[in-house]
Amino acid sequence: MRSTFDVIVLGVGGFGSAACYHLARRGLRVLGLEQFGCAHDRGSSHGETRIIRLAYFEHPSYVPLLRRAYALWAELETAMRRPLFRRSRLLLSGPPDGETIRGAQEAARLHGLSVQHMTAEEARRAFPGMAVPEAHAVVLEPDAGFLHVEDCVRGHWEQAVAAGAEIRVGIQAREWSAVGGGVRVRTDQGDFEAAHLVLTAGAWTSSLLREPRLPLTVVRKFVGWFGTEGGAYHVDSGYPAFYFEQPEGAFYGFPSLDGRTVKVAEHTGGQPVAEPGTVDREVRPEDLASLIPFLRQVLPSVREELVRHSVCLYTLTPDRHFVVDRHPDWPQVCLAAGFSGHGFKFTPVVGEVLADWVHTGRTAAPIEFLRLSRLAPATA
């Protein structure tokens, strides 16, 4: 079985679905190959919600990309005629000299972003049920909030198909090779050829990108929904998403969407995964070892009752920044990988960058700090 396309997109999750959309809307013949299905729960783009924010403490160079992402999410909402982004605000809490507070303040200063500085006491009064530690500083970002993650993936997927992309599910890629000026992808259902390849395979990137071998680490991440009552944490009451930098690690969560549960997870930590297809998705004792103490200390009105859970995968680079680039040896191949647990909000702008490279061979987006050349290839 062999087909010829302008571009093949390997992996149609968060970033792959966005790439398919931006490629197809430019009139290119697009084939997306996905081993699972639309908005599946086997990778990294599922679990109801993802935080989106502008005062980016990880690096201020992300802010211009975020501004473009905000515009593109609004465009997708208009096309879908349904809300994808809820501006609930975001509360950042941590030591005044810690990475989170210093980084958010620096990003806000450099890019003229609107943020509100609060003391721990002011935050406790503003948000009952949130026991902000006395020694913490607080930054409240009014333009932040959360994305409905599965709806975002479905939106990009559906709009890609409407623009002419062909997306096939249940197909597992085995390998790819450069053939002349194009590529050939070998799958469990035959070979496919195209002029270009976009690799957005998430946790499966290392198995498909033989050279250069990137230093990527996949870790298992547990997410829990814990019981609550009384509506104090409900999004309709003005409760924000939150992120806490604690001595034990970094923790994040969301206002309650259903009035009965609050979603909470640890951003740091995680268990290394050798094979992403066989990750354990059941609850382990260690999954609750850090979350329960966090709930007791910071969210005392949230019960320690685990109502439901999810397991997702972080694909980490050594510096926790993304890789978005063209292949150093084959310019017809583009890749986006290593989103390190904070990438989903960027999916539309990364999809646009990948489409730029395929369509015109260049991009005006400021992504130089995400080039793969900054990472030394992993040794065998």
Q: Which residues are catalytic?
A: 46, 49-50, 263, 267, 312, 345
Q: Compute the C-alpha angle 280/156/150, nearest 5°.
A: 35
Contact status, residue 153 vs residue 348, Cβ threshold 8 Å: no
Q: Where are any strands of DSSP class E within 95-236?
A: 116-119, 137-141, 145-148, 166-169, 173-179, 182-187, 190-199, 217-227
Contact status, residue 163 vs residue 24, Cβ threshold 8 Å: yes
Q: Compute the C-alpha angle 341/344/347, nearest 5°.
A: 140
DSSP summary character for residue 373: G
Helices (H), the chain: 14-24, 63-80, 99-111, 120-126, 149-162, 205-208, 285-289, 291-298, 347-360
Helices (H), 10-168: 14-24, 63-80, 99-111, 120-126, 149-162
Under DSSP, is residue 324 helix (H, G, I), strand (E, B) or coil? strand
Contacts of 256 (CB under 8 A, 6+ apart): 228, 231, 233, 234, 235, 239, 262
